[in-house]
Amino acid sequence: MTKPMKIAIASGKGGTGKTFISTNLYNLLQKKGLNVALVDCDAEEPNARLFLTEGILKSSREVNQKVPVIDESKCTYCGKCAEYCNYNAIFFLKEPKIVNVLEEICHGCGACSVACSYGAITEKDDLLGHVSNFEFSNKSALIESRTRVGVYSSVNVLKAAIKEASGFDLVLFDAPPGIGCPFIQTVAQADYVVLVTEPTPYGLSDLKQSIETLKGMDKPYGVIVNRAGLGNDVVYDYLKKENIPLLMSIPFDKNIAVSYSKGELLTDQDSKWKEKFSELFNKVKEEYGNSNN
């Protein structure tokens, strides 16, 4: 079996159209008969499922992390666990004697258990979220990561979802917005990154930050301009100057917005858009090939 191709659809700025692109691309390719998985990595606000309603829920499982439990009867208040904790998740005072696990900032790394020589630390499961698997025809799937409300970081949940997307010929990641840990953990797993932006100064500012991040990670990328016709030329000038491929341009069109607002897929409604998303996929494959993968 050849290595699966993994494409992340990402953006620095929120609301640029990542889910719009990824759900339509998935819909088109899945209906063409490809064996493809779309992983909704936006674990804080997953909503690809709102557009991809045809799949049937095959499984849903919990993602847990280990958090320490300190047995104060065995604790000698040496403070080594707090010293080992890189996240300040153990509050420790010698006088008065206090040792307290701050579960909401614990990363579950287990360093405190290693630090304790008195057997005072055991671990318990803490529910971080769920990974749900929706099956479509051709054994294609939508894999959704969903963080439990109040959980500090979505990283472990989205990583579990990405892990579940193995054995497919093609994997698409609908990345979380921003350029923080969730974004980095998603694009790190991808062979190629499609950045979605809008042609405005805000779009450009955030696009530059995403590109700086990707350069540091040595990831090949291309750009989709959504809502073209809006704003000004700053994004186009930047792409030209930096020699960054423009993969697709989607006009600022009321009809597209109306259809999206109803949860409809453009690739189900309009053959012109089917064609356009096909071209996008071919272009990505070509760029991916050129990037020496």
Partner 1 sequence: MKIAITSEGNSLDSKMDSRFGRCAYFAIYDTNTKTTDFFENPAKDSPEGAGPKAVEFIASKGVKKVVAGEFGGKAKALLEKLNIEMQQEKDKTISEIIKQL
State in angstroms the smallest separation of the CB of 93 from partner 1. 6
Indicate the residue among 100 and 269 with the shorter CB distance to partner 1: 100
Does 183 participate in binding partner 1 (rule CB under 8 A)? no
Indicate the residue among 32 and 94 with the shorter CB distance to partner 1: 94
The binding track of 125-154 with respect to partner 1, each residue x by CB under 8 A or -, is: ------------------------------
Indicate the residue among 95 and 218 with the shorter CB distance to partner 1: 95
Q: Rounded to an integer, what distance in angstroms lies between the CA atom of residue 230 and that of residue 268?
A: 25
Does 34 participate in binding partner 1 (rule CB under 8 A)? no
Q: Rounded to an integer, what distance in angstroms lies between the CA atom of residue 33 and that of residue 30?
A: 5
The binding track of 95-124 with respect to partner 1, each residue x by CB under 8 A or -, is: x--x-x-x-xx-------------------
Does 93 participate in binding partner 1 (rule CB under 8 A)? yes
Q: Rounded to an integer, what distance in angstroms lies between the CA atom of residue 15 and that of residue 216?
A: 24
Does 92 participate in binding partner 1 (rule CB under 8 A)? yes
Does 94 participate in binding partner 1 (rule CB under 8 A)? yes
Does 181 participate in binding partner 1 (rule CB under 8 A)? no
State in angstroms the smallest separation of the CB of 202 from partner 1. 27
State in angstroms the smallest separation of the CB of 100 from partner 1. 8
Indicate the residue among 93 and 114 with the shorter CB distance to partner 1: 93
Indicate the residue among 104 and 264 with the shorter CB distance to partner 1: 104
Whether the CB-CB separation of 12 and 210 falls below 8 Å is answered with: yes
DSSP states of the chain: -PPPEEEEEE-SSTTSSHHHHHHHHHHHHHHTT--EEEEE--TTS--GGGT--SSEEEEEEEEEEEEEEE-TTT-----HHHHH-TT--EEEETTTTEEEE-GGG-----HHHHH-SSS-EEEEEEEEEEEEEEE-GGG-EEEEEEEPTT-S-SHHHHHHHHHH--S-SEEEEEPPSSSSHHHHHHHTT-SEEEEEE-SSHHHHHHHHHHHHHHHHHT--EEEEEEEETBS-SHHHHHHHHHT--EEEEEE--HHHHHHHHTT--HHHH-HHHHHHHHHHHHHHHHHHHHTT-
Candidate ranges 70-78, 86-94, 109-117, 206-214; the one touching partner 1 (CB under 8 A): 86-94
State in angstroms the smallest separation of the CB of 92 from partner 1. 7
Does 87 participate in binding partner 1 (rule CB under 8 A)? yes
Does 32 participate in binding partner 1 (rule CB under 8 A)? no
Binding residue for partner 1, selected from 7, 29, 70, 89, defined by CB under 8 A = 89
Binding residue for partner 1, selected from 58, 91, 114, 275, defined by CB under 8 A = 91
Q: Which of 285, 250, 210 is nearest to 24 (CA)?
A: 250
Binding site for partner 1 (CB under 8 A): 82, 86-89, 91-95, 98, 100, 102, 104-105
